[in-house]
Amino acid sequence: MRAGAANRRLAPAGAANRTHGRLRRLTRIALWVISGFIIASILLVALYRYLPPPGTPLMLLRRVEGYGIHKSWTSFDHISANLVRAVIASEDTRFCNHHGFDWNAIETAWHHYHSRHGRLLGASTISMQTAKNVFLWPGRDWVRKAFEAYFTVLIEIAWGKQRIMEVYLNVVEWGPGIYGAEAAARHYFQKPAAALTIGEAVRLAAVLPDPLNWSPLYPTRRVLARNAAIYSSMPAVYARCPRPAG
């Protein structure tokens, strides 16, 4: 009887020890995974500070969907300042002044989200879009948004504004299978990105929100309205960015 009672008392203690052991192992594994992700992400961001990203997840997705990949990397110095300013006016007028996040736009989007029963209003800066395009999958879920914020902080610290803009203009989608300013300029206007006029730059910038359905050559009424809005925003961009993304 005494031995049986002792075994009953020891059994729960043994089960608890096994549970604690499994938790410790899982904790160690989680720490290793998190540490590995942080180290790998920092190394990748450091690498892309100097080297062009060879591709993006969106390019791979479009390839699976049946589109080709037409891209040609060109340095920031060989991209027209007209295009730089037009893209800033179109996508992120405070680009030269914030540190990756436009908190006013985020606050507006948050209020819009609650007032429209969960309809999400975009508030992504060019820095956030660059982080998403280079490192992450397409989508609007909160998990991806969290990773997007993490990579945005990294590239703002490691790259700076000019490199962020350079990478963005070289990887952004400008049409079915068309990526980057050089490929877009040659496809739509048969000229290099360095030679784009203000009008051509604005037309390219206007289609960025929906490049698969909008064309700078055959603008819809909505695209024409965006053209006018970009033109009207240009003076503010000149004031905030006297040297584009410099």
Domain ranges for the chain: 1-48, 52-240
**Domain 52-240 superfamily per CATH:** Biosynthetic peptidoglycan transglycosylase-like (1.10.3810.10)
| Residue 238 pLDDT greater than 70, yes or no | yes
Question: What are the pLDDT digits (tens) for 105-121?
Answer: 666 655 555 565 555 55
Question: What are the pLDDT digits (tens) for 141-192?
Answer: 889 999 999 999 999 999 999 999 999 999 999 999 999 999 999 999 999 9
Q: Which two tokens stand for residue 231?
A: 């033109």
Cβ neighbors of 174 (< 8 A, separation 6 or more) are 180, 181, 183, 184, 187, 188, 204, 207, 208, 211
Sequence-ordered strand ranges (E) for 53-109: 70-71
Its sign, for the CA torsion 199, 204, 210, 215, is positive
Strand partners, 175: 178
What one-character-per-residue DSSP string does 181-216 give? HHHHHHHHHSS-GGG--HHHHHHHHHTTT-TTT--S
| Residue 49 pLDDT greater than 90, yes or no | yes
The DSSP symbol for 177 reads: T
- The CB density around residue 65, as the number of other CB atoms within 10 Å, is 10
**Cα(184)–Cα(177) distance, rounded to whole angstroms?**
10
Q: Of 31, 75, 21, give the one whose Cα is nearest residue 50.
A: 75
